[in-house]
């Protein structure tokens, strides 16, 4: 194996943590413990963890509405993510943002955000900063297939291309923009094909295969780092839950869901690691239990955290005018 | 004191700030060799290089978003929105991104961005090249909106805007570009968030900003000949608004006329009047008056455009109405 064994096991554990985080969130919403909305990334863990694994720690990541996995992969603490979902003062946004609006710049995580496609220009601007400030860092910009219908996607990718910015445009194509299937949303056969319109390389990768994602993103990141500009990576994947917690997935067939679950990224990774002798069944179970424990601890932390103080409501609207 | 054009004051400020701080960059359509639609950045590409004076495709939402991302990560971008009318294409980035990052991401997030907007009517450019859209921006918490009326303030406010850690919409009246005024050489700032009493008076307060400030001063001059003494306030910053300077004046005069270049409904005048009524109702001797553009798109024909946009005469008439009312 070309990668460090302990690191791979750690990343497998991280994927288990993300899965557990999302599964538990679904329960907590169901029980009414947390309110608002959330977009679960269960099923897409190999994209988040595999792509971020290809980066250096100082590289930057921008996210979207389905961003818990991206944030956890970039080093986000489950406790503080969970606290944000609980609307607590200890959350990453102090309870102001919720699922879709949290960031931690010290980790190089530029933020989840609730406007589909909206962060693609922002991430491109972050890449412009990296170029002009000569940081040597690249930006990994996550978005979904739905975002490729937005003008923001086209405008930003074009600017990233003409200015040869150090950015990787990473599309998690989970086949549906909310309920709209990709076949109805665009005429081209793949999203990666659109890269040609910007004079960029476009690659399609199995988004449920951690190793394939890591490989493709690694190449794209080095291409960007060596001043050759962006790559459009399209990762084929599938979300296990609906678009958001209120979606019952009436637009997907049971057969399709079963076929994708058979290619669950956690299952694929576990089978591969066991087959090549990197992991035993017992060790895999222990990791799963660890993940459960980490999330149980996060929930405990969130439950016991204080609510934000309403007195702070109007603080921080401006940097210079409070 | 040196006299120079409003447009030259802006050019000088941008050049001084780019020379002072390497993090200041510019993004916009045709701003490099062409020098921008109004030639504000003429010569900048040669002096500062095209890495920092960056021509963009015609993609206002995209390049505004790029500037926001650059601002969030260490640069201090100045965007030129060729015509303020085009800012509609960037409202998602301004309203849903720039205005919210500080609040939602906390103190780690700063968006030191300036969006320069040549705005307003007076040039017969017609419905999509003549608007005053500031009303749509002041209603978004997190955006600073600035609209200077003189070359002096244009320089001092633009310096403050570029050095500010919040996103600033900087409104430049296209008509004012051609006005001359006293502008000190070298570095000085005018604080954001502070209105200015530009003419003292006793009988009526006229609140204005941008080009309507000079129309208001003209009205005050004409009224002075009829022994009506007007106090004129230039808001200078529309958000956050300096209510206190206005209220203090109205408590003295007991009357208020608010004027703007945008249409009447839902405008800046409505906001000013609401604040005046809330803060000094008991001092008012007459109903507040708004003098604004007609509730129409801005027509191209010179005759129609003049009919649509307020002038000194209408402002003076509003003052007279106010005085006759009580």
What confidence tens digit (pLDDT) does each residue in B203-213 have? 999 999 999 99
Q: What is the ipTM of this complex?
A: 0.96
The residues of B annotated with a catalytic role in the active site are 60, 129
Question: Is pLDDT at B1 greater than 90 in this prediction?
Answer: no
* In chain A, % of residues over pLDDT 70: 100
Tell me the per-residue pLDDT of A18-66, one tens digit each, with 9 for 90 and over.
999 999 999 999 899 999 989 999 999 999 999 999 999 999 999 999 9
Q: Find the residue in A nearest to B54 (Cα).
A: A163
Report the chain A residue with the minimal C-alpha distance to residue B91.
A118
Dihedral angle of Cα B299, B305, B308, B314, to the nearest 10 degrees:
180
Span(s) in chain B for CATH 3.40.50.920: 196-325
Q: Are A281 and A274 in contact (CB under 8 A)?
A: yes
Alpha-carbon span B99 to B76, nearest angstrom: 16
Q: How many angstroms away from the CA of A115 is the closest CA of chain B?
A: 7
Note every long-range contact of A297-301, with CB atoms under 8 Å and residues 24 or more positions apart, other chains counting: A297/A78, A297/A79, A298/A21, A298/A77, A298/A78, A298/A79, A298/A81, A298/A82, A298/A83, A299/A24, A299/A28, A299/A82, A301/A79, A301/A82, A301/A83, A301/A90
Tell me how close the Cα of A290 comes to any Cα of chain B, in angstroms.
30
Instruction: Residue A76: name the closest of A39, A48, A44 by CA.
Output: A48
Mean pLDDT over each residue of chain B, to the nearest integer: 98
- For chain A, the 3-state helix, strand and coil shares in percent, each to the nearest 5, are 50, 10, 40
CATH number at residue A87: 3.40.50.970
Calculate mean pLDDT across residues A155-177: 98
The superfamily in CATH containing domain B3-182 is Thiamin diphosphate (ThDP)-binding fold, Pyr/PP domains (3.40.50.970)
Q: Which of B106, B141, B145, B240 to mutate to test the interface with A (most CBs of A within 10 A)?
A: B106
Q: Which of residues 73-132 of A touch B (CB under 8 A)?
A: 93-94, 96-97, 101-106, 110-111, 113-115, 118-130, 132
What DSSP character marks residue A99? G
Average pLDDT on A75-88 reads 98
pLDDT of residue A1: 56
Position B266 scores a pLDDT of 97
Nearest in space to A102 (alpha carbons), one of A68, A146, A129: A68
8 A C-beta contact, residue A44 and residue A238: yes
Burial string for B212-230 (b: 16+ CB within 10 Å, else e) reads: bbbbbbbbbebbeeeebeb
- How do beta strands A180-181 and A176-177 pair? antiparallel
Nearest to A19 by CA among A313, A208, A202, A266: A266
Listed residue (A40, A111, A101, A38) closest to A74, CA to CA: A111
Which pLDDT band holds residue A2 (cuts at 50, 70, 90)?
Answer: confident
| R_g over Cα of chain B | 19
Residue A214 domain boundaries: 5-31+40-104+115-301
* A109 is a domain residue: no
Domain total for chain A? 1
The residues near B147 (Cβ < 8 Å, ≥ 6 apart) are: B119, B134, B170, B171, B173, B209, B210, B235, B236, B237, B238
Q: Do B57 and A113 touch (CB under 8 A)?
A: no
Query: Taking Cα atoms as reference points, which of B24, B110, B104, B26 lies closest to residue B69?
Result: B110
Q: Which residue of A has its CA nearest to B106?
A: A93
**Contact B163/B191 with Cβ under 8 angstroms?**
no
What is the enclosing helix (H) or strand (E) of A254?
helix A254-261
Identify the band that residue A248 occupies on the pLDDT scale cut at 50, 70 and 90.
confident
- Give the mean model confidence (pLDDT) for residues A176-180: 95
CA distance linking residue B248 with residue B106, whole number of Å? 35
Chain A: closest CA distance from residue B188 (Å): 18
Minimal CA–CA distance to B120: which of B197, B214, B54? Answer: B214
Alpha-carbon distance of B101 to B166, in angstroms, equals 10
- State the DSSP code for A104: B
CB contact under 8 A, B166 and A152: no
Write out the two tokens for B14. 């941008």
B196-325 belongs to CATH 3.90.1010.10: no
Retrieve residue A24's tokens.
């538990």
User: Looking at residue A20, what is its pLDDT?
Assistant: 98
Q: What is the pLDDT of residue A322?
A: 74
Contact A237, A47 (CB under 8 A): yes
Residue A19 lies in a domain: yes
Q: Does A134 touch chain B (CB under 8 A)?
A: no
Per-residue pLDDT, averaged over B78-107, amounts to 98
- Residue B252 has a pLDDT of 98
Q: Is the pLDDT of residue B165 over 80?
A: yes
pLDDT-derived band at A169, boundaries 50, 70, 90: very high
Q: How far apart are the first and last CA of chain A?
A: 54
B108 interaction partners in chain A (CB closer than 8 Å): 103-106
For residues A226-249, average pLDDT = 94
DSSP codes, A259-308: HHHTT-HHHHHHHHHHHTTS--HHHHHHHHHHHHHHHHHHHHHHHHSPPP
Cβ A112 vs Cβ A64: under 8 Å: yes
Which among A124, A132, A151 has the least Cβ separation from residue B69?
Answer: A124
Residues A22/A68, Cβ–Cβ less than 8 Å: yes
Residue B316, Cβ neighbours under 10 Å: how many?
24
- How confident is the model over B257-284, as a mean pLDDT? 98
Decide if A156 touches B, using CB distance below 8 A.
Answer: yes
DSSP string, B10-44: HHHHHHHHHHH-TTEEEEETT-STT--TTSTTTTH
Is residue B63 within 8 A of residue A128, CB to CB? The reply is no
Q: What are the angstrom distances between the C-alpha of B188 and each of B41, B173, B240?
A: 20, 21, 21
Residues of A in contact with B73 (CB under 8 A): 60, 110, 125-126, 129-130
- State the span(s) of chain B assigned CATH 3.40.50.970: 3-182
How many Cβ pairs within 8 Å bridge chains A and B? 151
The backbone torsions φ and ψ at residue B42, rounded to the nearest 5 degrees and listed phi first, read: -60, 130
Residue B190, pLDDT > 70, answer yes
Asked if A38 and A44 touch (Cβ cutoff 8 Å), the reply is no
Note which residues in 195-214 of chain A have CB less than 8 A from chain B.
none
Chain A neighbors of B29, CB-CB under 8 A: none
Is A315 within the bounds of a domain?
no
Q: Do B166 and A318 touch (CB under 8 A)?
A: yes
Query: Is it the case that residue A271 has pLDDT exceeding 80?
Result: yes
pLDDT above 60: residue B240: yes
| In chain A, % of residues over pLDDT 90 | 96
Of B61, B108, B192, the CB nearest to A155: B61
């Amino acid at each position: 194996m070309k990668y460090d064994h302990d690191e791979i096991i750690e990343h497998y554990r991280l994927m288990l943590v993300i899965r557990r985080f999302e599964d538990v969130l679904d329960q907590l919403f169901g029980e009414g413990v947390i309110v608002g909305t959330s977009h679960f990334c269960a099923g897409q863990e190999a994209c988040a963890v595999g792509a971020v694994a290809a980066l250096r720690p100082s590289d930057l990541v921008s996210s979207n509405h389905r961003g818990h996995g991206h944030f956890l992969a970039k080093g986000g603490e489950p406790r503080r993510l969970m606290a944000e979902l609980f609307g607590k003062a200890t959350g990453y946004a102090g309870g102001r943002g919720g699922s879709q609006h949290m960031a931690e710049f010290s980790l190089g995580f530029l933020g989840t955000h609730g406007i589909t496609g909206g962060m693609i220009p922002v991430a491109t601007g972050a890449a412009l900063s990296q170029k002009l400030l000569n940081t040597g860092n690249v930006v990994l910009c996550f978005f979904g297939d739905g975002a490729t219908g937005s003008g923001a996607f086209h405008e930003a990718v074009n600017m990233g291309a003409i200015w040869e910015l150090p950015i990787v445009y990473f599309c998690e194509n989970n086949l549906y923009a909310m309920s709209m299937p990709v076949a109805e949303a665009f005429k081209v056969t793949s999203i990666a094909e659109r890269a040609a319109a910007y004079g960029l390389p476009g690659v399609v990768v199995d988004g449920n295969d951690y190793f394939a994602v890591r490989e493709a993103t690694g190449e794209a990141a080095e291409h960007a780092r060596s001043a050759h500009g962006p790559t459009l990576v399209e990762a084929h994947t599938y979300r296990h839950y609906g678009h958001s917690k209120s979606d019952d997935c009436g637009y997907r067939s049971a057969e399709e869901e079963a076929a994708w679950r058979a290619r669950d990224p956690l299952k694929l990774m576990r089978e591969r690691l066991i087959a090549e002798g990197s992991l035993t069944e017992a060790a895999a179970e222990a990791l799963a239990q660890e993940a459960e424990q980490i999330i149980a601890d996060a929930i405990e932390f969130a439950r016991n955290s204080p609510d934000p103080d309403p007195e702070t409501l109007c603080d921080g609207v401006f940097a210079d005018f409070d | 004191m040196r006299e120079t054009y409003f447009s030259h004051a802006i050019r000088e400020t941008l050049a001084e700030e780019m020379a002072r701080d390497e993090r200041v960059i510019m993004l916009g359509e045709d701003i490099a060799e062409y020098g921008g639609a109004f030639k504000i950045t003429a010569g900048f590409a040669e002096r500062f290089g095209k890495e920092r004076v960056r021509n963009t495709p015609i993609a206002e939402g995209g390049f505004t978003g790029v500037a926001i991302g650059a601002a969030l990560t260490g640069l201090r971008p100045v965007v030129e929105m060729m015509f303020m009318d085009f800012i509609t294409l960037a409202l998602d980035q301004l309203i849903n991104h720039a205005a919210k990052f500080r609040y939602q991401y906390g103190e780690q997030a700063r968006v030191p961005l300036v969006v320069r907007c040549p705005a307003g009517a007076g040039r017969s450019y017609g419905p999509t090249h003549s608007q005053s859209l500031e009303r749509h921006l002041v209603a978004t918490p997190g955006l600073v909106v600035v609209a200077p009326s003189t070359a002096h303030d244009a320089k001092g406010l633009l310096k403050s805007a570029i050095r500010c850690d919040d996103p600033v919409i900087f409104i430049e009246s296209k008509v004012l570009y051609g006005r001359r005024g006293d502008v000190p050489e070298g570095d000085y700032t005018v604080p954001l968030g502070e209105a200015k009493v530009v003419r003292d008076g006793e009988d009526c307060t006229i609140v204005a900003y941008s080009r309507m400030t000079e129309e208001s001063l003209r009205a005050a001059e004409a009224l002075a000949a009829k022994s009506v003494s007007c106090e004129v306030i230039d808001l200078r910053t529309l958000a956050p608004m300096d209510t206190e300077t206005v209220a203090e004046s109205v408590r003295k005069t007991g009357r208020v006329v608010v004027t703007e270049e945008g249409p009447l409904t839902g405008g800046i005048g409505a906001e000013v009047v609401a604040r005046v009524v809330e803060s000094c109702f008991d001092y008012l001797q007459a109903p507040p008056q708004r003098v604004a553009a007609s509730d129409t798109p801005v027509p191209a024909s010179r005759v129609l455009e003049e009919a649509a946009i307020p002038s000194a005469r209408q402002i003076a008439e509003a003052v007279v109405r106010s005085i006759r009312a009580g």
